[in-house]
Structure 1
């Protein structure tokens, strides 16, 4: 099925996919909504929620998405997991595999992306940034592997040159600005067009408004950013300080590569531990009920023509 004949597009994930950083009257828009219009989707369901972990994606969000019976579904998650003291790459791999596997069994084409290092984005000092970067690389390794496993449309977002452009990021430096969201939508559209799955015009990469300036960045940090950091300090900071101490010890000993290798081995082992993939199309007959009815808190929308 193509174009406006009835493609349904669902988006699962966290605040990145919810649209934070791309404000519109009444809320957020974001790359997924821009892409929905660009591919000529007839209906669009955004299940993504700020703060969501991969466990949330694999449970409530997946249930709602499957009930929507999409043809395309974006699954972009994992960054929030790296910012938790409880980070476990084995659990992340299992949860993403559960989500992508269930969608593949339903015959859904998945969209995935690898994401940039949050420590680098925040400009943290190296003892704090390197452990976060190591975690993000582990998540990206898992996403790469699962994308191949399920034939997903995969965007190497972490490697695109525009990621280094400050204008592509909002005042918090963690979420894309309007321009960043437009770039994500544009790149996904190009990949879908290669597969004949994008009937509409590519999303524009010209923002409607100016990028955030230094004053806006300072205001965000003073009014909201400090609270955001403190909310995570009770969970992340003790663990991050432990990781930073290990980073310093290994750097002094000239052995930081030991930590890199250990993280890589853990990611490889997490993928190897997954159960065999289910065959495509196996789950269509038994799509489970939704945790919330489409059109309520998950926001089904008809894409304007």
Structure 2
């Protein structure tokens, strides 16, 4: 890949089409810059740039944003530490130490989607790992970027018995992310509100990651939120890439050449857990207990937040 490329929570007020912002902390007085602005991106395949291919690897929203943080491209020192498949534990075990060593002025921390896709999902664990990472970086004076995530079951168009429990998990993760964004005064982007399913051009051929157009939209969203927070930036990223997004033929080609192996790899861990989730969901529906399952997961998210130090 290309890592060096250039408790209830009150919902924030909507700002613009499909995007909202959590008010960050006070912007410190600008100091004379004697070194480039260092920007570190932590997370999984979304932040690594999967879905936005360039020669030699991936680009992605974080690299696009990095190129727009300063009037002078040489004024930004960008480090993409995100890795495909990363869980919240990987964030604190591997990426956080590397980020702290860089002492970045700006850091993006976007993770949690892969946690929902694992059979051992535990919202308490996810909350602890995210709080640890955000707290450590905020403690160094780093301005943080966070985002809540769209529902993977919805993106993949999974059948209801599978989609509903995944949606329930994703809501729990987003509840935690919303609360921690307020706690650590991050600049927050609500990716859940973008029209992922209504606008097919925003998704890559695997239907789980943004397309190049989707990555551009995310980069512009973060750029706008940073500008609203008072940060001095360069011009906003382009609204869309020069090349058109993938069409139906590209979808079919990806599924024939890579999609099958991708599903097989995911199934090693996911399939047993998803089958168990589907069985539990079906039983719950027969007993009319779907609402109770929703309440249990919401309660688990609240308890996870209440249990943080």
The two structures have a TM-score, normalised by structure 1, of 0.87
- Residue in 2 that maps onto 1:33: 63
1:67-106 alignment to 2 at 5 Å? 67-106=101-140
Question: Which of 214, 217, 220 does residue 254 from structure 2 map onto?
Answer: 220
Q: Distance in 2 between matches of 1:4 and 1:176?
A: 34
- Which of residues 299, 303, 309 is equivalent to 1:265? 299
SS of the residue 1:9 aligns to: strand
Does residue 8 (structure 1) correspond to residue 38 (structure 2)? The answer is: yes
Structure 1 spans left out of the alignment, 5+ residues: 276-305
Report the alpha carbon displacement of residue 90 of structure 1 after superposing the two structures with TM: 0.6
Q: Which moved more, 1:101-110 or 1:235-244?
A: 235-244
Of 186, 194, 203, the match for 2:237 = 203
Helix, strand or coil: the match of 1:116? coil
Distance 1:192 1:77, change over 3 A: same
Q: Map residues 39-54 of structure 1 onto 2, 5 A cutoff.
A: 39-40=69-70, 42-54=76-88
Runs of 4+ in 1 over 6 A off after TM superposition: none
Match of 1:287 in 2: none
- Alignment correspondent of 1:116: 150
Return the TM-score normalized by structure 2. Answer: 0.86
Q: Does 1:135 align with 2:161?
A: no
* Distance (Å, rounded) in 2 between the aligned partners of 1:237 and 1:259: 21
**Please, which of 52, 58, 75 is the counterpart of residue 22 of structure 1?**
52
Greater relative contact order structure (CA < 8 Å, 6+ sep): 1
Q: Per-residue deviation at 1:253?
A: 2.5
Contact 2:196 2:203 in 1 (8 A): no
Asked whether the equivalents of residues 217 and 240 of structure 2 are also in contact (C-alpha less than 8 Å), the reply is no
Deviation at 1:3?
A: 9.8
Residue 272 of structure 1 and its aligned partner are, at CA, apart by 0.7
Partners of 1:99 and 1:52 in 2: CA distance: 14
Structure 1 contact 8–72 (Cα < 8 Å) conserved: yes
Write the distance in 1 (CA, Å) between the matches of 2:87 and 2:242.
31
Give 5+ residue unaligned stretches, structure 2: 1-29
Q: 1:255 to 1:2 in 2, by over 3 A?
A: farther
Q: Does 192-201 or 117-126 show the bigger shift?
A: 192-201
Distance in 2, Cα, partners of 1:176 & 1:164: 13
- RMSD of aligned alpha carbons: 1.5
Q: Is residue 91–residue 133 contact of structure 2 (8 Å, CA) maintained in 1?
A: yes
Aligned residues: 275
